[in-house]
């Protein structure tokens, strides 16, 4: 089943990238250790591995962001020293990071030419080039849209376009599908297959093993910093892959006996949110209830009002009208802090923007959002000792892989950052958990563990508003699913009876009208 890269690959096309013996250490951590990978031209090569296995680190090395401590990199047969992304771009390597790096307030054109002004200028020629690339690979991107108006799927395509614009022949995508719903994933994969046909090489990191199996030509498994195997998708199942990665079985979310009570915990009535720019309402007439012990799932293509809904409930959106009742008490006028103190836990969709202080130690990140409550604070003072102790508890219980609680959040891998946030928001026994993509970027093993934590809390009466792009997660965890489309709740489904396909078509508005895509492109 496995072929080690040292042995000649079965069908050896020309190699786009050849990594040998790559090693990289951080204080207290060996991120990469003797990594060997061959990426053939005209293929999609997937990298899989647990959170913190060293995938992002390896790709940053290949992209020249960090130097390796040891090992050699060959690009198109030539040994390279890549000491900056500029070198990597020169060598025809491009990267789309795990966390997007677009400037929201600029247009697509401006974002694309930023730093590459020399190539085609910043005006008409650049615009024409962008259109040309967009058409050639079916990306469907309008160079003059502002990035903040784009959905995640479209932003993703802008990132890819940015890389192609710089002449990349090898493209690295770090967890590109984590934020996409199935339809968008399919579109992305079509784009990738197009790239592959044009002779590009794509390296792609994902935790979603089924996707990996469907799109990749080769799969390399990284475990604790080292390559343990390179396999062909035809020869493995996702279960076998997971075992290679973590040595554990693939979890399936399974709703257990319902714990829904008839005690309404959250009631949202006629929530509306006007568009500050004067467009169509971002939320119109949204009403629902969540009972104690119930999980309400919200399904929708990203950009249809999910973020606005969550932020309105958290008190972060001025201009909202309507009523929000928590356990019978109106909270619609309370500050974000008061809402948190009333027992709302909040897992934000964008962990870097809303969830973490990247340059603060983990224990201070434990305090964030809980700075008025025990154990983080005592009176007006921060209780560093208790916060540290509780951080250790979270690190332990949620399996956050870190050399210690004094390291900065930035030093954690994406998935481990997510685990820390989930652990933090589940602490202090919240009565309501607002979870936006709670397992985004988390590996299969940790995903199962987070689901278990949520289920356990639900049994004890936690109400959960769950937003997720992962339909399996949504169906497996929810007691009820509402579909959101263009700011409205357009249909309710029983997760026991609905299939992902049915949900998918409801999410795009198929059957009602076909305008669902407009929000995304």
Partner 1 sequence: MNVRLTKLLLGLAAPLLALGLAFLITSLVLALAGDPVGAVWSQLLQWPQPRNQINILNNAMVLFLSGLAVSIGFRMNLFNIGVDGQYRVAVFVAAVVAGEAWLPGYANTALAIVCAMLAGALWAGIAGVLKATRGVSEVIATIMLNFIATSLVAYLLAKAAVREEGSNVIGTKVIPESSWIPGIQVWSDVATELYGFIVITVLAGVGYWFVLNKTRFGFELRATGQSATAAVASGVSAKRMTIATMMLSGAVAGLVGLPILFGDSHSYGSTFQSGLGFAGIAIALLGRNHPVGIALGALLFAFLDEQSNPLQILVGVSPDIVAITQGVIVLTVVVSYELVRRYGARLEQRRVAAELAAGVTVAADGDRRDPDPDPSAPSAPDGSRGPGDGDVDLSKETTR
Ligand X SMILES: Nc1ncnc2c1ncn2[C@@H]1O[C@H](COP(=O)(O)OP(=O)(O)OP(=O)(O)O)[C@@H](O)[C@H]1O
Q: Which residues bind ligand X (CB under 6 A)?
A: 26, 29, 31, 49, 51-57, 98, 401-402, 411-416, 441, 443
Asked if residue 455 lies in contact with residue 477, where contact means CB atoms within 8 angstroms, the answer is yes
Three-state DSSP at 44 gives strand
> Closest Cα to residue 122, out of 113, 134, 133?
113
Examine residue 56 and tell whether it contacts Mg ion (CB under 5 A).
yes
Asked if residue 9 lies in contact with residue 40, where contact means CB atoms within 8 angstroms, the answer is yes
Among 414, 430, 438, 495, binds Mg ion (CB under 5 A): 414
Asked if residue 463 lies in contact with residue 432, where contact means CB atoms within 8 angstroms, the answer is yes
CA-based max dimension of the chain: 68
Round to whole Å and give the CA distance between 203 and 43: 8
Q: Print the binding letters for residues 66-105 with Mg ion: x by CB under 5 A, - otherwise.
A: --------------------------------x-------
Residue 218 touches which of ligand X, partner 1, Mg ion, none (Cβ within 5-8 Å per kind)? none
Examine residue 348 and tell whether it contacts partner 1 (CB under 8 A).
yes
User: 224 vs 480, which CB is nearer to ligand X?
Assistant: 224
The helix (run of H) or strand (run of E) holding residue 418 is helix 414-426
User: 75 vs 241, which CB is nearer to partner 1?
Assistant: 241
The helix (run of H) or strand (run of E) holding residue 152 is helix 152-165
Among 399, 428, 488, 521, binds partner 1 (CB under 8 A): 399
Least distance in Å: CB of 371 to partner 1?
5
Beta strands in 54-186 (DSSP E): 70-75, 78-80, 93-96, 170-174
User: 331 vs 411, which CB is nearer to ligand X?
Assistant: 411
User: 56 vs 191, which CB is nearer to Mg ion?
Assistant: 56
Q: Which pair of structure tokens corresponds to residue 207?
A: 């935790």
- Matching residue, tokens 């690009």: 75
Residue 49 touches which of ligand X, partner 1, Mg ion, none (Cβ within 5-8 Å per kind)? ligand X
Residue 371 touches which of partner 1, ligand X, Mg ion, none (Cβ within 5-8 Å per kind)? partner 1
> Closest Cα to residue 395, out of 368, 427, 369, 370?
427
Round to whole Å and give the CA distance between 479 and 466: 10
Site for partner 1 in 67-96 (CB under 8 A): 69
Q: What is the DSSP letter of 469?
A: S
Among 94, 369, 415, 476, binds partner 1 (CB under 8 A): 369
Beta-bridge partner residues of 355: none
Examine residue 27 and tell whether it contacts partner 1 (CB under 8 A).
yes
Residue 57 touches which of partner 1, ligand X, Mg ion, none (Cβ within 5-8 Å per kind)? ligand X
Least distance in Å: CB of 68 to partner 1?
11
Site for partner 1 in 413-452 (CB under 8 A): 445, 449
Three-state DSSP at 34 gives strand
Beta-bridge partner residues of 283: 273
Examine residue 246 and tell whether it contacts partner 1 (CB under 8 A).
yes
Least distance in Å: CB of 519 to ligand X?
28
In sequence order, the 6+-apart residues with CB closer than 8 A to the CB of 245 are 48, 49, 50, 53, 221, 223, 443, 444, 445
Residue 228 touches which of partner 1, ligand X, Mg ion, none (Cβ within 5-8 Å per kind)? partner 1
Least distance in Å: CB of 315 to ligand X?
30
Site for partner 1 in 401-420 (CB under 8 A): 401-408
DSSP per residue, 55-72: HHHHHHHHTTSS--SEEE
Least distance in Å: CB of 67 to partner 1?
10
Residues in contact with partner 1 by the rule CB under 8 A:
25-30, 33, 50, 52, 69, 223-226, 228, 243-244, 246-248, 314, 316, 335-341, 346, 348, 353-361, 364, 367-372, 377, 380-382, 399, 401-408, 445, 449
């Amino acid at each position: 089943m496995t072929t080690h890269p040292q042995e000649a690959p079965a069908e050896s096309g020309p190699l786009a990238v050849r990594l040998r013996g790559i090693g990289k250490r951080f204080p207290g951590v060996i991120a990469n250790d003797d990594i060997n990978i061959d990426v053939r031209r005209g293929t999609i090569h997937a990298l899989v591995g647990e959170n913190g296995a060293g995938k992002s680190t390896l790709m940053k090395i290949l992209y020249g962001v960090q130097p390796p401590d040891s090992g050699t990199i060959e690009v198109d047969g030539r040994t390279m020293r890549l000491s900056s992304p500029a070198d990597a771009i020169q060598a025809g390597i491009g990267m789309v990071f795990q966390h997007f790096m677009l400037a929201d307030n600029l247009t697509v054109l401006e974002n694309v030419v930023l730093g590459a002004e020399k190539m085609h200028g910043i005006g008409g020629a650049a615009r024409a080039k962008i259109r040309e690339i967009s058409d050639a690979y079916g990306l469907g991107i309008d160079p003059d849209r502002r990035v903040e108006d784009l959905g995640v799927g479209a932003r993703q395509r802008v990132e890819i376009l940015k890389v192609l614009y710089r002449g990349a022949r090898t493209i690295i995508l770090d967890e590109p599908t984590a934020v996409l719903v199935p339809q968008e994933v399919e579109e992305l994969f079509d784009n990738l297959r197009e790239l592959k046909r044009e002779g590009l090489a794509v390296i792609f990191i994902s935790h979603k093993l089924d996707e990996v199996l469907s799109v990749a030509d080769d799969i390399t498994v990284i475990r604790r910093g080292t390559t343990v195997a390179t396999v062909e998708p035809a020869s493995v199942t996702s279960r076998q892959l997971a075992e290679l990665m973590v040595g554990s079985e693939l979890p399936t979310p399974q709703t257990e006996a319902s714990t829904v009570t008839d005690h309404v915990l959250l009631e949202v009535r006629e929530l509306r949110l006007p568009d500050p720019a004067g467009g169509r309402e971002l939320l119109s007439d949204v009403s629902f209830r969540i009972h104690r012990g119930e999980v309400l799932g919200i399904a929708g293509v990203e950009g249809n009002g999910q973020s606005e809904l969550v932020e309105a409930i958290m008190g972060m959106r001025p201009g909202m009208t309507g009523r929000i009742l928590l356990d019978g008490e109106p909270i619609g006028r309370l500050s974000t802090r008061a809402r948190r103190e009333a027992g709302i836990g909040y897992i934000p969709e964008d962990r870097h923007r809303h969830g973490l202080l990247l340059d603060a130690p983990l224990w201070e990140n434990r305090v964030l959002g809980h700075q008025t409550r025990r154990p983080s604070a005592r009176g007006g003072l921060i209780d560093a000792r208790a916060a540290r102790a509780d951080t250790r508890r979270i690190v332990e219980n949620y399996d956050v892989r870190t050399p210690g609680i004094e390291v900065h959040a930035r030093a954690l891998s994406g998935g481990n950052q997510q685990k820390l946030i989930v652990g933090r928001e589940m602490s202090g026994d919240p009565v309501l958990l607002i979870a936006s993509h709670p397992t985004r970027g988390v590996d299969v093993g940790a995903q199962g563990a987070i689901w278990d934590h949520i289920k356990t809390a639900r049994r004890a009466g936690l109400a959960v508003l769950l937003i997720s792009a992962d339909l399996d997660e949504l169906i497996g965890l929810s007691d009820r699913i509402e579909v959101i489309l263009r700011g409205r709740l357009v249909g309710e489904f029983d997760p026991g009876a609905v299939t992902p396909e049915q949900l998918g078509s409801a999410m795009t508005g198929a059957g009602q009208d076909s305008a669902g895509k407009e929000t995304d492109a």
